[in-house]
Structure 1
C-alpha cells in the first residue's frame, strides 16, 4: 500500500508539472501568436478553466507528499519527500501571493474591458509562472529520487 502511495503521489505531481510546463512553454506561446484579440481571450478562458482546477491539484499534491512523509518517516528518502513538500508549500504561497491576483483580474478581461497594461500584467504572470514551474519541477525531481 505504501508503494502505491509513493507512485501515485509522484504521478500526480508529475502530471501537474507537465500541465504547468506546457502552459508556460507551449500554450501561452501559441496564444500569444494568435491574431487580434484571440490570444487575450484564450488566456482569459484558460485562467478561468485552470484557475478552477489547479488549487485542488496543488493542495492535493501537497497533502499526498505530507502523507508520504509521515507514513514513511525514518525510511531512506523521506528527507527528499519533506523537501519536496516544502517546495510545494513555496509554490502554493507563490500562487496565492503573486499569480492568483493577476489571474483573478485577467480571467474577466475582454477586449472591451481590459486595462491598458494588460500585456504587462500577462508578462508579469508569465515570469512568476516560470519560477513556479522551476519550483515544482524540483519537487517532482526529489519525489522521483525518493521513489528510486
Structure 2
C-alpha cells in the first residue's frame, strides 16, 4: 500500500510541476507574443481557470507527501520526503503571500479596466512564479529520489 502511495504522490506532484513549468516557459511566452490585448485576455482567463484548480493540486501534493512521510518514516528516504514536504509548504506560502494577490487582481482585468501598471504586475508575478517553479521542481526531485 505504501508503494502505491509513493507512486501516486510522485505522479500528482510531477503533473503539477509540469503544468506550472509550462505556464512559465510556454503559455506566458505565447501570451506575450500575441497581438494587442490578446495576451492580457489570455492571462486573465488562465488566472481564472488555473486559479481554481491549482490550490487543490498544491494542497493534495503536500498532503500526499505528509502521509508518505508519516507512513514511511521507517523506510530509507523518509528525510527526503520530509524535505520535499517543507519545500511544498514554502511553495504554498509563496502562492498565498506573493502570487495569489496579483492573480486575483489580474483575473478580473479586461482591456477596459486594467490598471496602467498591469504589465509591471504581470512581470512581478512571472518572477515570483519562476521562483516557485524552482521550489516545486526541487520538491519533486526529492520525492523521485526518495522513491528510487
TM-score range, shorter chain: over 0.9
Equivalent residue for 1:120? Answer: 120
Matched, 1:97 2:97: yes
C-alpha separation between the residues in 2 aligned to 1:135 and 1:74? 26
Q: How far off is 1:91 after superposition?
A: 0.1
Any idea what SS the aligned residue of 1:28 has?
helix
Equivalent residue for 1:60? Answer: 60
> Which 4+ residue blocks in structure 1 deviate beyond 6 angstroms?
none
Q: How far off is 1:14 after superposition?
A: 0.3
Equivalenced residues, count = 148
Q: How far off is 1:43 after superposition?
A: 0.1
C-alpha separation between the residues in 2 aligned to 1:136 and 1:13? 8
Q: Deviations over 1:39-63 (max 9, x none)?
A: 0000000000000000000001000
- TM-score w.r.t. the length of structure 2 is 1.00
The runs of 5 or more residues in structure 2 that have no matched partner are none
Matched, 1:40 2:44: no
- TM-score w.r.t. the length of structure 1 is 1.00
The runs of 5 or more residues in structure 1 that have no matched partner are none
